[in-house]
A and B are shown apart, each in its own frame.
Chain A
Amino acid sequence: MDSSNPCTTLQKDMRKYLLDLTVNSNERLNGNYILMKFTSEERLPDMLPGQFAEIRVDGSTTTFLRRPISIHFVDRATNELWFLIQLVGDGTRKLAELKKGDKLNVMLPLGNGFSMPTSAQEELLLVGGGVGTAPLLMLGAVLRNLGYAPTFLLGARSKKDLLQLDAFETYGQTFVTTEDATFGEKGFVTNHTILQQKKFDKIYTCGPTPMMKAVAAYAAKNGIDCEVSLENKMACGLGACLCCVTETQEGHKCVCSDGPVFNIKDLKWQI
């Protein structure tokens, strides 16, 4: 895997593209998840960790709107874009049926990604829950490329909900919790002993809202800089319809265009 990514500085307002990508592989993981790899004849556009794509799933009345999916990884060596997807409804289940060679229309890259650490921030913790771990692989790869040694802390309900562990391990030390103790430490990510053993300067997190709130509360209590990636319901993905807002210190902001990544100090979370 070659993740050499040009993003040492965070570009705002990157050009967006509408592309027909070709499925290279579509692999079932642990029953209810898929790892999709897409390619294109042209070089894939630049994308930043934390940005997402809006995918068009055609052909039924229940998948009228596009589906937002995080950029899981971009492999520049093979010109491949990866998505990690949980099958929850009609749209994602249709994606699971796609075969090598099929085309998929995507709009990308959307939103603003995670911000890079400041010079004072050395120890970085990337906390993911369930399929929310998706954007953290690309983030970890980019951080690793910049010379950091990121730590991953991944939580899941059970062993079968842990995804891409091998891939994460190539970019940093990886710790795991499961709620049913089938793998790693038992409990939630915020119970993991690594949090007592090591002091972190910055935390990035993506996953179910209750998990992100618990992580944000831990970060706030310990004075650690923390960014979360939100998954609000979206219609346009472009900042045009104002459907996807979250409450911030400056009023309603669009998760699709002002986020999906927010610093917790800008949100109005009761933590």
Chain B
Amino acid sequence: MADLTTNIGKLVMKNPVMTASGTFGYGEEFADFIDLSRLGGIIVKGTTLKRREGNPYPRMAETPSGMINAVGLQNKGVDYFVEHIYPRIKDTDTNILVNVSGSTIDDYVATAECINALDKIPAIELNISCPNVKEGGMAFGTSCTSAANVVAAVRKAYDKTLIVKLSPNVTNIAEIAKAVEDAGADSVSLINTLMGMAIDAEKRKPLISTITGGLSGACVKPIALRMVWQVAKAVKIPVVGLGGIMNATDAIEFFLAGASAIEIGTANFIDPTVTIKVIDGINDYLERHGFKSIRDIVGALETA
């Protein structure tokens, strides 16, 4: 066995493979298919201060090698999470991370404070990149100033590991990453979904209720890889890479581009056991190439 242990800030993981927010529920949904304790971490659904009903149906359209979603952060609010969901999942033998979303800085701070009080949640992923809500969400993640402001405010209220999830819907993602690093983030994760659109030509209608939505799946991988590469060169904090990872080889590409850990999202829908296959596949790759540790391949892309 190669050494797969990975640290992100104060977060210690048995391996660098986590599940992406919004694609893995609270983990329980997949418990019939895999041993959840083998995962490096589970990032649960985007959680907001107040309950949100999300967007009207239809919320999903399949696109070539991917899908567009417009769920719109449907969740029952942080109080419900703390009272009802947390007690159910807190003893899962892996890291449980909460993806925190909001419409105002005060919302983000209040939600992060609630989560800070939970012993068994070692880190949050601050979602400043959701393309599917009218207010806040992605708006925070598309300018350096607003990104830095929300991260600085949450940093004051939250003392465990703070990962900030970046939007790919920007011109220069490295600049945003640097602003977020300067504001006190322990790590950045990228990418959230890309703004996209799908049309039913026969009916001359959009395929999802919000017209535009977030594109994910295999088709986004080349863009995600490029952005991880650009960000990893620009910041000193560890980068968590995601976007279109379908198998172990895809994951290895993200490590080579500079990611210290990865997340798997849409691929869970196609194969609910994919996370375990990726963990095993990373180990095989390291052994096959004679590397002792996953850390040996982070940023090891040979460009000369």
Binding site for B on A (CB under 8 A): 15-18, 56, 61-62, 64-66, 107, 232-247, 251-252, 257
Contacts and interface: CB of A to CB of B under 8 A. Distances in A.
Given A235-B67, A242-B54, 4 more contacts: A65-B67, A241-B25, A243-B60, A245-B74
B159 interface: no
A257 B74 CA distance: 15
A243 B69 contact: yes
Contacts of A56: 270-271
Given A61-B64, A64-B65, A240-B23, A18 B33 contact: yes
Question: Could you tell me the dominant secondary structure of chain B's interface residues?
Answer: loop
A235 B53 CA distance: 19
Interface in B49-64: 53-54, 57-64
Nearest to A243: B60
A15 B30 CA distance: 11
A130 B89 CA distance: 42
Contacts of A18: 33, 272-273
B53 A16 contact: no
Question: Could you tell me the dominant secondary structure of chain A's interface residues?
Answer: loop
A18 B273 CA distance: 9
Interface in B250-304: 266, 268-273
B25 A245 contact: no
Contacts of B24: 240
A232 B64 contact: no
Interface of B: 22-25, 29-30, 32-33, 45, 53-54, 57-67, 69, 71, 74, 217-218, 266, 268-273
Given A17-B32, A238-B25, A245-B74, A66 B269 contact: yes
A244 B74 CA distance: 12
A107 B74 CA distance: 25
B99 to A, nearest CB: 13
Contacts of A251: 53
Contacts of A16: 32-33
Contacts of A241: 22-23, 25, 60, 69, 71, 269
B29 A240 contact: yes
Contacts of B71: 241-243
A252 B75 CA distance: 10
Nearest to A14: B32
B59 A62 contact: no
A242 B74 contact: yes
B181 to A, nearest CB: 31
B76 to A, nearest CB: 9
The 4 A-B pairs of least Cβ separation, nearest first, read A240-B25, A243-B60, A240-B29, A16-B32
A18 B64 CA distance: 25
17 contacts: A16-B33, A56-B270, A61-B65, A64-B64, A65-B67, A66-B270, A233-B58, A236-B269, A238-B30, A238-B272, A239-B25, A240-B29, A240-B268, A243-B59, A244-B57, A245-B74, A252-B53
